[in-house]
Structure 1
């Protein structure tokens, strides 16, 4: 199974046999795929271990790299998880959008043991793209080293960590992988499977609800008898079916999710082992109910500080205490408005007098400290503070006001939502890619309530906004991060809403073009932290207790991709992206526990600049927007997997 087009490698090495340039001869864009602070192939090893690397172009056109680790000491050497590392410096950082389109890649890393692979997609989508498959040895995890002076705009250098058994004096171990060019995701998958070197797991979903069927298939491009295959879930052998079609061995497994929590999948195919991780979430409404009660009972301030009375604040799950700081991402406003929006949406589903009283106190707080109902100004923090007049705050306040209208049927909330969006546009919002703009919904509600003047004003401002996004195309302006998923996703949402309101095909055509770019941020690694969760890698620093940069799998704004796919379906009737939307919305549910506690993000790499990663941050901060959208699109998220 070969790619439809042939590409050849261009390599440049330094005197230590480390790569400084890797490109495709046929690439008109002349991209170097491996820029980093250290050359590709630099190794990390404990004392007593000598390394060597050998490279060759194989008959199939792949570039094979063979890393040898030899114990040259007089004693055995044992290895901790990060004692051994190989720098794989895929060119993944953010300058301005135009440069990212042609000269940067989204690096989707799957550390699945002997089935590990990397899918590096050029950000602009133009082939070729670069793949990596491990053909001998085992990759257990990865770390990153970041330039912290670049803040949110440098994803860092990736370090893959081989899993090595203890080496006796003179003994050696090898890690071998192949790099290859591919045209698209389908070609990447075909090459992984067709080479017959690693098993590949395919699934529609990595996050399930109790009672659903956990379903997946494993494909291997060589004939393997069923006696040489095994499938285990959390170390318990389960039944499977296998067949051989003359080219590929297919293994099918389906098991009912009969308990909540993490499910570790191990598939042995001949001598190869694949490791994957699935998750069974508490039932959605049960999860939302618990979360809202937790917010009301533990995250609402009632104390002597009058300006914060009624506020929903950060909760530290380690210290079992509320936290507030005027520092932007830790304050009493901004993204934390999502707690109020979730509460208002939930109360439309299930009445609860205690939660209703909590929400009433919160809305009183918002109108007292964060909002001017005469001007529509949304403040950055308590006491009408505008140290930063942040445009992102406006649509979030409008969403809260719209949900309060749905809950109470009081038209004053619609008037306030209109004033909020009017102020947003007066403050230059028509040149800004704000997250969560609720314009099409608000326009419909204004029209239904005969607020025609307000509706026309809103639409006029909004179409000016949509035209700006249309004209910019993929030359996205710099925002708080130079280029990111949550710049592309809001732009597409704006275009789709403009199409819904106007019916003009030009908005839909541009939305379709940009949807392809948005999806480049998503990978399909069979790990529930990563599966259909967009690449983000800075939120743990800005919103977390431990102020850690590094890949955040998941981060709640990843759901914006799923929301765009749903909006596309609503606008067109095309169901193409429904499965992906469902996986995107479910992918952040592991941020919420059955008892209602929550985490703002999961810092995924094994280490970040040498500091321990692989943890859920203890702060419940701004993550509730993920649960809000899951509940808002409940009908999509609850369509079960067969």
Structure 2
């Protein structure tokens, strides 16, 4: 991804003249007297006076026509009518704005309700013509109301106090809502829940190469309005309120809206043959039915529940009906069912090795042997691409990591042959003998230093070490083992400034456990020293995150949390865990709780479709494979703390990303979620298979791990372990089997780690753990696999093609490509993993716990 421009944050410099206010002790609402649009929504008790919506003070790049409460309606051929010129009446705590258009009158009423401490809005649509009017004739996007939430990334200092994550559920019919969370987590936060009418989705506008990746754009919600007969009116209303956290948001929504119901599913993404359990939170006296059958109310819990079989693969929308007297409202949830997860991964690996590898005779020698971007529409490799996010380096290394991880658990000579060709490609074209990793293949073009690429190459070397650690020759005369290459990459990474980088996929836990398990004592100690210095830097910076390719994003916060959690799990030193808490909470805030597998716990990302996709679409990507970074963090957090709910949620995130893959093995780099983005149809999978395979690599990382080294190794000298062979285990143990058998071991080990940690010598003042002995006595010494993100450092670096490279290296018959005769054995049960069974009621800690942890950070 190219570097993005810094958005302007102006305080009052472009404020609208003559702003009028309706206000109370609970809300202060700024209104534009010229258009009737809302310019600000502020909590008078907030010391930061945060504006929760985009307006002229906080968002000077906002187009005037996309301000809060304005909108449009398609009322005939070539006639999209925008309302922006009202008859306006404003009082102390209420206002009305009436917009007259051809055939349609839109009346907007707003008021602050003191007793309920809420700000409420109603939009009425009146057909003023003589004939019936269908303003949804061309689809749900033919009617839109602008609700521009203040979800932008300006600078860390600004976003933590003055910007909000907008978790939008606009596809729930009558039970639709929006939860806003201040990015810095300080409450109170703003919520919106529908009280009348229904919604059918949301769209995004104002995404472009000017604002690039740092603004989420401006939102429109699409009301469901029936065909209006002459002089008939339809209305949509909502209420807004302040709340503490997710639990408080859902509880207040149930009280404030009699058409809201909260639904939880377990799991949101099921494997074919599973049973999906659904729990419905309603109010006493509600009549809730599903498929025409009324759900029973459990007296003990006050909840409604049902279950459905996951008997057919694909997406499934379920509708729950809430009846109250003569009123009937429908609420929608969205589930997904996939085939066997092992088969999905196996098919994807075969697809990569058979269809996404450029052969040795490819004319462009800088690409020969590489795994490359594949166009699912063209049915071929997109070898013509020239952009950095589509080259044969960078994130594409994830394909090699996935293939290598898969081979740890399965035998396939053709796949291994392909991997060896690819590994030779990486060693000769993406890296030089010093360990330097190139942003572009050697011999293609000049490239900048991009530190994001380096940990991914480390992961590949580490996986190859587990596949036998056989020495290979590159650049004509440089022979080294994968462990040697891992360490040279690591050393060079830190010499180039890696200590200050928020690296995605830095394999701390996996590397240290591997090196310790196989007796690389000096190497282990050096790696721990480098990782410790890196972690100390991140701990000292705290929440003052530096900007990278995006000013502030999930994949800056996630590495901070993961690095510290992996250091804690590797050493047992409690200061690492304490330092991780604040990062983990801020990371968790990127994910929502919408009742749709696309959105449940999936982190907000909204630029990857443009940089990595064929269609170059901006807009929310739910899911995008880097959302699995949150799952990786939750996986480590569950094992570090013993909180099982986070392992459950981690698996939910990983499973959700299976939507990016087809049963035949095709991959898709992102799902563009909104109904439209700048008028272009959304809600589809981009045709490019690009970098999505990190999602599957993370599944193998978190749900399958190599077991503890064979007990027969425990008394051997380190020299006898210098050339590891694949550790013992059942070679074809399935992921589903591993998940089923390993539920309790993960959390049990967390207690052992804490007990062992209390016996270690910790230099807390220096925040650097004393290097523990790399002997075999540590119980938590399994070799776990870890995985991968993106950002450009602008330091220019001229690439030099190594003239010593032998032409014959690309030949598939070269000995370097022959399948190893050392068949390494595969995985047994991953004692770190546990399956999705059930979340806690609201999937979150108590508010008291959250507040205490936030104060620590």
Shorter chain as denominator, the TM-score bin is: over 0.9
Deviation of the 1:198 alpha carbon: 1.2
Q: Distance between the aligned counterparts of 1:254 and 1:610, measured in 2?
A: 38
The C-alpha deviation readout for 1:182-241, integer Å capped at 9, x for no partner, is: 01111001011233331221234311112221111112224134xxx3213xxxx6x674
Q: 1:133 to 1:572 in 2, by over 3 A?
A: closer
The C-alpha deviation readout for 1:522-544, integer Å capped at 9, x for no partner, is: 01111111111100000000000
Are 2:562 and 1:496 equivalent residues in the alignment?
no
Q: Distance between the aligned counterparts of 1:631 and 1:449, measured in 2?
A: 21
Q: Which moved more, 1:58-67 or 1:513-522?
A: 58-67
2:280 aligns with 218
Q: Is the 8 A contact 1:312 1:332 kept in 2?
A: yes
The C-alpha deviation readout for 1:272-296, integer Å capped at 9, x for no partner, is: 2101110011111010011011111
2:127 aligns with 71
Deviation of the 1:244 alpha carbon: 6.5
2:297 aligns with 243
Deviation of the 1:316 alpha carbon: 0.5
Are 2:681 and 1:612 equivalent residues in the alignment?
yes
Deviation of the 1:118 alpha carbon: 0.5
Q: Is the 8 A contact 1:605 1:613 kept in 2?
A: yes
1:11 aligns with 29
Residue among 369, 379, 392 paired with 1:320: 379
2:155 aligns with 96
1:552 aligns with 621
1:639 aligns with 835
1:268 aligns with 321
Q: 1:350 to 1:501 in 2, by over 3 A?
A: closer
Larger Rg: 2
Deviation of the 1:249 alpha carbon: 6.1
1:387 aligns with 447
Are 2:658 and 1:589 equivalent residues in the alignment?
yes
The C-alpha deviation readout for 1:356-386, integer Å capped at 9, x for no partner, is: 11111111211121112x2111111222555
Q: 1:123 to 1:640 in 2, by over 3 A?
A: closer
Q: Distance between the aligned counterparts of 1:503 and 1:288, measured in 2?
A: 33
Q: Distance between the aligned counterparts of 2:599 and 2:51, measured in 1?
A: 26
The C-alpha deviation readout for 1:483-515, integer Å capped at 9, x for no partner, is: 000000001111112223443322211201221
Q: 1:393 to 1:272 in 2, by over 3 A?
A: same
Q: Distance between the aligned counterparts of 1:572 and 1:64, measured in 2?
A: 42
1:579 aligns with 648
Residue among 334, 350, 360 paired with 2:394: 334
Q: Is the 8 A contact 2:648 2:836 kept in 1?
A: no
Q: Distance between the aligned counterparts of 1:362 and 1:31, measured in 2?
A: 51
The C-alpha deviation readout for 1:581-638, integer Å capped at 9, x for no partner, is: 1111112110011110110000111111111111100000000000111122225577
Q: 1:219 to 1:450 in 2, by over 3 A?
A: closer
1:180 aligns with 241
Deviation of the 1:146 alpha carbon: 2.5
Q: 1:638 to 1:462 in 2, by over 3 A?
A: closer
SS at 2:370 equivalent: coil
Q: Distance between the aligned counterparts of 2:249 and 2:690, measured in 1?
A: 38
Q: Is the 8 A contact 1:440 1:500 kept in 2?
A: yes
Aligned residues: 627
Q: Which moved more, 1:440-449 or 1:7-16?
A: 440-449
Q: 1:388 to 1:7 in 2, by over 3 A?
A: farther
Q: Distance between the aligned counterparts of 1:380 and 1:450, measured in 2?
A: 33
Are 2:461 and 1:406 equivalent residues in the alignment?
no
Deviation of the 1:245 alpha carbon: 5.2
Q: Which moved more, 1:139-148 or 1:402-411?
A: 402-411
Q: Is the 8 A contact 1:603 1:613 kept in 2?
A: yes
Residue among 39, 43, 50 paired with 1:24: 43
Q: 1:353 to 1:502 in 2, by over 3 A?
A: closer
Deviation of the 1:168 alpha carbon: 2.2
Are 2:358 and 1:301 equivalent residues in the alignment?
yes
Q: Is the 8 A contact 1:379 1:386 kept in 2?
A: no
Q: Is the 8 A contact 1:212 1:641 kept in 2?
A: no
Q: Distance between the aligned counterparts of 1:539 and 1:123, measured in 2?
A: 21
SS at 1:487 equivalent: helix
2:107 aligns with 52
Are 2:495 and 1:434 equivalent residues in the alignment?
no
Q: 1:231 to 1:141 in 2, by over 3 A?
A: same
Q: Distance between the aligned counterparts of 1:19 and 1:137, measured in 2?
A: 21
The gaps in structure 1 that reach 5 residues or longer are: 1-5
Deviation of the 1:308 alpha carbon: 1.9
SS at 1:142 equivalent: strand
Deviation of the 1:147 alpha carbon: 4.3
Deviation of the 1:389 alpha carbon: 1.4
Q: Is the 8 A contact 2:37 2:68 kept in 1?
A: yes
Q: Distance between the aligned counterparts of 1:375 and 1:452, measured in 2?
A: 22
Deviation of the 1:117 alpha carbon: 0.5
Are 2:164 and 1:164 equivalent residues in the alignment?
no
The C-alpha deviation readout for 1:302-354, integer Å capped at 9, x for no partner, is: 24323322211111111111013231100001101111111111111111111
Q: Is the 8 A contact 1:376 1:416 kept in 2?
A: yes
Are 2:536 and 1:478 equivalent residues in the alignment?
no
Q: Distance between the aligned counterparts of 1:56 and 1:222, measured in 2?
A: 29
2:87 aligns with none
The C-alpha deviation readout for 1:528-578, integer Å capped at 9, x for no partner, is: 111111000000000000111100000000000110111123334443411
Q: Is the 8 A contact 2:254 2:283 kept in 1?
A: yes
SS at 1:524 equivalent: coil
Deviation of the 1:54 alpha carbon: 0.2
Q: 1:638 to 1:265 in 2, by over 3 A?
A: farther
Q: Is the 8 A contact 2:127 2:233 kept in 1?
A: yes
SS at 2:447 equivalent: coil
Q: Distance between the aligned counterparts of 1:244 and 1:27, measured in 2?
A: 40
SS at 2:231 equivalent: coil
1:283 aligns with 340
SS at 2:154 equivalent: coil
Q: Is the 8 A contact 1:143 1:159 kept in 2?
A: yes
Q: Which moved more, 1:574-583 or 1:490-499?
A: 574-583
SS at 1:605 equivalent: coil
SS at 1:54 equivalent: strand
1:40 aligns with 68
2:199 aligns with 139
1:150 aligns with 211
Q: Which moved more, 1:507-516 or 1:406-415?
A: 406-415
Q: Which moved more, 1:191-200 or 1:257-266?
A: 191-200
Q: Which moved more, 1:113-122 or 1:497-506?
A: 497-506
TM-score, normalised to structure 1, is 0.94
Deviation of the 1:31 alpha carbon: 0.5
Q: Which moved more, 1:595-604 or 1:6-15?
A: 6-15
Q: 1:520 to 1:602 in 2, by over 3 A?
A: same
Are 2:117 and 1:61 equivalent residues in the alignment?
yes
Q: 1:479 to 1:528 in 2, by over 3 A?
A: same
Runs of 4+ in 1 over 4 A off after TM superposition: 635-638
Q: Is the 8 A contact 2:647 2:836 kept in 1?
A: no
**Alignment root-mean-square deviation, CA:** 1.9
Deviation of the 1:445 alpha carbon: 2.3
